[in-house]
Structure 1
Amino acid sequence: MKQNKLGTSDLLVSEIGLGCMSIEPGNETEGKEMIQRAYEEGVTLFDTADLYQFGWNEEFVGKSVKPFRDKIVLSTKVGNRWTEDKKSWDWDPSKTYIKSAVKDSLQRLQTDYIDLYQLHGGTIEDNMDETISAFDELKKEGLIREYGISSIRPNVISYYAEHSNIVSVMMQYSILDRRPEEEMLDFLYDKNISVIARGPVAKGWLSERALQRNESDQYLDYQGKEIQVLVQNLHSELGSERSLSQTAIRYALHHPAVASAIPGASSVKQLLSNIGASASEKLSSEQVAAVRSLSKPNVYEQHRR
């Protein structure tokens, strides 16, 4: 599988990674097989977060990747802390919390270092300089190799891009969520900051399953019926040389700022279908234009600069 450099770092990530959030307790056997098969198929980016399943996901991923830990990029996230009753979580981007939370993540992941440590959100009201200082210190201490942010807020992304040493921004990006195209992708590419595209299949809406879903459901500013029509039009316009989900993943990868797309998967079959997008042809400029003509050029309306 094609490997791409992450920003200005020495980290190489597979163009298709594995978002591990969808691996749930009770599905450990298939989850472990998914992680093993992903590695065998060339996936080198495995993403989790301390928030997922109250830390269980980090524990599971850490245990599952242990046999090939030094051959992959292990990424996790910080900033959200569960309340005592575990019914909700609070936002805490303080240096004190980040430098404490990283130790818990390292223990759960059964590793001495985290390849990519990401801020799991962020608001313009945060003391971002303090947060940046925390990540810089962790890097100097050797506890993390690089850091980035996971955000869809233009004002937050812009601040970190201008004032920190982030190597990546994880953001939602798909045919149904083209907001990054308006102002983020070219901006980050010029800054030599890579994008990790999450949600490229839009919670399954960009797959053949879309036609069996409820017409009244909604995804961002799309109604279910609209998406079903879009799916049919994409089939008619682009043909069937690849599955719709593979087309969706290839679309998320078409911009040079995007180093990796990380679809989630709940089964080995789904995982292998996603990974198959890497072996399929890149979308031509004509195909990209066709996708854009059929879908909405939605834009970020909140969290402006």
Structure 2
Amino acid sequence: MIQKNRLGNSALEVSQIGLGCMSLGTNEHNARDIVKRALELGVNYFDTADLYDLGENEKIVGNALRGQRDNVILATKAGNRWIPGQDGWEWDPSKKHIHSAIKDSLHRLKTDYIDLYQLHGGTIEDPTDETIDAFEELKKEGLIREYGISSIRPNVIKRFIENSSIISVMMQFSMLDNRPEEWLELFQTHNVGIIARGPLAKGLLSDEWNEKLKTKYAGKGYMDYSDKDLSEILPKLKDIIGDRSLEAAAFHYCLSQPSVAAVIPGASSIEQLEANVRAIQKYEFSIGEMKQLQGLLKQTVYKEHRQ
């Protein structure tokens, strides 16, 4: 079975690998099979958002988890408001919208509570006190168990950590995007957990890395790495981990940080899901390997949204 970790200072215990449900698509039969298999494999953390497929993703996840509600940690997000007749979504972190959005999500997910409700973004200009009040009220009403934010903006993250009772921050984190490492002390001091999205760096940190370099990333870079950097560093990463999968190394690089409770790669097929679960179960870093990896990787930092 998959190890579980406590999320921040809460009572929520999430599987080390969750399922990022955005990748499930709109084929409900296929999505239901993936969710069912995830449950069989020991995944208990499922993450969706009202933004995904205009709410259809929440409906699909709710149907797929029918009869399993007490066995899972169900997370969704709010803050983006769809206005009929307009193109796209409008950012709205107001109390009024959050109180309205939770009702719609509960209906689509076919549940009467959300385990982890997350603000899906955030700017420094937001009425943060109002947003925090909204989440605290939902918690008192029993509509949510805990709340967190999904953001990569340091100024937003710091404001919420210091002024609210959030238990988690979802942020992009991988060996090729290790920006969160700069802020690990803040997370540890306040006992806030990290949910790492994008741990495979869009497939570059997988055993298909060579093919990715020749096709999707031909002539292109990723984050602070040029295509030349990638062509040099990825083979070296593979040399360090030997015959173990690069996916396993990628997942456990994130999980080796005490604040990281879970990684949430997506899976659009059962085969991909099973490969991810195998990877999470078959790896341990030695101290020497970690030092080798850290010596090889660039230390990236957030250049914006710092004040």
Q: Which TM-score applies when normalising by structure 1?
A: 0.96
Structure 1 residues 113-172: Cα deviation after superposition (integer angstroms, max 9, x where no partner)? 000000000011101000000000000001000000001011111111010010101011
Is 1:180 equivalent to 2:180 in the alignment? yes
Residue 218 of structure 1: CA displacement? 2.9
Structure 1 residues 182-201: Cα deviation after superposition (integer angstroms, max 9, x where no partner)? 1x222101211111011100
Structure 1 residues 204-236: Cα deviation after superposition (integer angstroms, max 9, x where no partner)? 111122211332133222233432332211111
Structure 1 residues 30-67: Cα deviation after superposition (integer angstroms, max 9, x where no partner)? 32111111111111110000000000000000110112
Distance 1:31 1:224 in 2: 34
Distance 1:69 1:225 in 2: 47
Distance 1:86 1:244 in 2: 43
Distance 2:35 2:231 in 1: 31
Q: Contact 1:8–1:193 at 8 Å: present in 2 too?
A: yes
Q: Contact 1:210–1:228 at 8 Å: present in 2 too?
A: no
Distance 2:158 2:29 in 1: 41
**Code of the aligned partner of 1:236:** D
Residue 86 of structure 1: CA displacement? 5.9
Match of residue 301 from structure 1? 303
Structure 1 residues 233-261: Cα deviation after superposition (integer angstroms, max 9, x where no partner)? 11112211x21112111111110000111
Q: Contact 2:195–2:260 at 8 Å: present in 1 too?
A: yes
Match of residue 256 from structure 1? 258
Distance 1:162 1:246 in 2: 34
Higher deviation after alignment, 286-295 or 40-49:
286-295
Distance 1:238 1:265 in 2: 24
SS of aligned partner of 2:295: helix
SS of aligned partner of 2:152: coil
Q: Contact 1:81–1:91 at 8 Å: present in 2 too?
A: yes
SS of aligned partner of 2:77: strand
Q: Contact 1:210–1:227 at 8 Å: present in 2 too?
A: no
Structure 1 residues 66-123: Cα deviation after superposition (integer angstroms, max 9, x where no partner)? 1211111000000012242463211100000000000000000000000000000001
**Code of the aligned partner of 2:10:** S
SS of aligned partner of 1:146: strand
Match of residue 8 from structure 1? 9
Residue 179 of structure 1: CA displacement? 0.2
Q: Contact 2:248–2:283 at 8 Å: present in 1 too?
A: no
SS of aligned partner of 1:219: coil
**Code of the aligned partner of 1:168:** S
**Code of the aligned partner of 1:187:** L
Match of residue 231 from structure 1? 234
**Code of the aligned partner of 2:174:** S
Q: Which runs of 4+ in 1 moved over 6 A?
A: none
Match of residue 56 from structure 1? 56
Residue 293 of structure 1: CA displacement? 1.7
Distance 2:56 2:14 in 1: 24
Where structure 1 has 5 or more consecutive residues not aligned to the other structure, the ranges are none
Instruction: Check 1:135–1:86 CA distance in 2 against 1; reply closer, same or farther (3 A cut).
Output: same
RMSD of aligned alpha carbons: 1.3
**Code of the aligned partner of 2:126:** D
Distance 2:185 2:36 in 1: 35
Instruction: Check 1:76–1:86 CA distance in 2 against 1; reply closer, same or farther (3 A cut).
Output: farther
Where structure 2 has 5 or more consecutive residues not aligned to the other structure, the ranges are none
Is 1:158 equivalent to 2:158 in the alignment? yes
Match of residue 32 from structure 2? 32
| Count of residues in Structure 1 that have an aligned counterpart in Structure 2 | 302
Distance 1:78 1:39 in 2: 25
Q: Contact 1:167–1:194 at 8 Å: present in 2 too?
A: yes
Match of residue 44 from structure 2? 44
SS of aligned partner of 2:66: helix
Q: Contact 1:2–1:278 at 8 Å: present in 2 too?
A: no
Distance 2:251 2:35 in 1: 19
Higher deviation after alignment, 288-297 or 214-223:
214-223
Q: Contact 1:188–1:257 at 8 Å: present in 2 too?
A: yes
Match of residue 74 from structure 2? 74
Aligned-residue sequence identity (percent) comes to 52
